[in-house]
């Protein structure tokens, strides 16, 4: 049984979310602000976090940043603003999905289920033997869900890992945004082109830190493809 940490400063919203998740068969923990969320996260294990961005004190983005320093626990952001900047920033710092208030509890539960299904499938796949994928100085280990460049580890979120794995599995193929979306979100949850671009930008940034500047190339009017992945290029 999956345990979900629900973080929102509005007690009514917390109750609605927890009720919907409990009814769907999950167990829930509740936190009222950023500090409370971090304390509960460190004390009790959670399989996923539903995290409001507009929290008093430490906002949801800061909570996400702190959690991502030590954990890849999936995070579903909530926000009262349908602001693309918030959406893109939340995904860039490690969020897995984004729901805007007011929201349908049924949709939120569905999105939670999709994220957990993807995470569980990834964990199950990592238990099965799988050959490493190598391209230039870039190496991806499906079995361990790890990525390295020149032997240096590169920390990716689950979605970023799945996107990069798709490129490495087909190094000569140019992918459209829809194809990348299908690879990263296999249950057909809709995300915008800007969300895919945000994930690609974040992958490039992390690989660039390891001196791999051409890992993913843009094919204008089509999408993206794997670059040469040569260090120092």
SS (H, E, C) the chain: CCEEEEECCCHHHHHHHHHHHHHCCCEEEEECCHHHHHHHHHHCCCCEEEEECCCCCCCHHHHHHHHHCCCCCCEEEEECCCCHHHHHHHHHCCCCEEEECCCCHHHHHHHHHHHHHHHHHHHHHHCCCCCCEEECCEEEECCCCEEEECCEEECCCHHHHHHHHHHHHCCCCEEEHHHHHHHHCCCCCCCCHHHHHHHHHHHHHHHHCCCCCCCEEEECCCEEEECCCCCCC
Domain-embedded: residue 19: yes
Evaluate whether residue 231 is within a structural domain: no
Same domain, 205 and 173: yes
Domain match, 8 and 101 both: yes
pLDDT by residue (tens digit) across 140-174?
Answer: 998 778 899 888 899 888 888 889 999 998 888 99
Within a domain: 144: yes
Residue 98 located in a structural domain: yes
Give a yes or no: residue 233 inside a domain.
no
Domain of 217, in residue numbers: 129-226
The answer to whether residue 6 scores a pLDDT higher than 80 is yes
Does a structural domain hold residue 232?
no
pLDDT at residue 127 above 60?
A: no
Residues 74, 159 within the same domain: no
Looking at residue 87, its pLDDT comes to: 64
Q: What does the pLDDT look like over 19-64, one tens digit per residue?
A: 999 999 999 999 999 999 999 999 888 999 999 998 988 999 999 9
Boundary-marking domain end, from 99, 125, 151: 125
Residues 65 and 12 in one domain: yes
120 and 202 both lie in a single domain: no
Which CATH number covers residue 180? Answer: 1.10.10.10
pLDDT of res. 186 = 56
High-pLDDT (> 90) share of the chain, %: 40
Q: Are residues 103 and 157 in the same domain?
A: no
Chain-wide mean pLDDT for the chain?
85
| Domains: count for the chain | 2
State whether 100 and 49 are in the same domain: yes
Question: Which one of 125, 140, 172 terminates a domain?
Answer: 125
Q: Report pLDDT for 10.
A: 94
Statement to judge: residues 145 and 213 lie in one domain: yes
Give the end of a domain, one of 125, 156, 174. Answer: 125
């Amino acid at each position: 049984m999956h345990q979900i940490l629900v973080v929102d400063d509005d007690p009514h919203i917390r109750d609605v979310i927890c009720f919907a998740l409990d009814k769907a068969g999950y167990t829930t923990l509740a936190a009222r602000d950023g500090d409370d969320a971090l304390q509960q996260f460190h004390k009790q294990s959670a399989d996923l976090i539903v995290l409001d961005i507009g929290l008093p004190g430490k906002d949801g983005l800061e909570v996400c940043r702190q959690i991502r320093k030590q954990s890849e626990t999936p995070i579903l952001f909530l926000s009262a603003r349908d602001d693309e900047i918030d959406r893109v920033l939340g995904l860039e710092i490690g969020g897995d999905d984004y729901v805007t208030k007011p929201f349908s509890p049924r949709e939120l539960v569905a999105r939670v289920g999709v994220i957990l299904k993807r995470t569980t499938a990834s964990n199950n796949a990592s238990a099965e033997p799988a050959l490493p994928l190598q391209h230039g100085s870039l190496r991806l280990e499906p079995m361990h869900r790890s990525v390295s460049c020149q032997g240096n580890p590169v920390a990716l979120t689950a979605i970023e890992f799945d996107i990069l794995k798709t490129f490495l599995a087909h190094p000569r193929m140019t992918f459209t945004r829809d194809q990348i979306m299908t690879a990263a979100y296999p249950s057909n949850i809709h995300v915008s082109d800007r969300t895919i671009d945000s994930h690609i930008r974040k992958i490039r940034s992390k690989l660039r830190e390891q001196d791999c500047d051409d890992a993913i190339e843009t094919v204008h009017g089509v999408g993206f493809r794997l670059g040469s992945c040569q260090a120092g290029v």
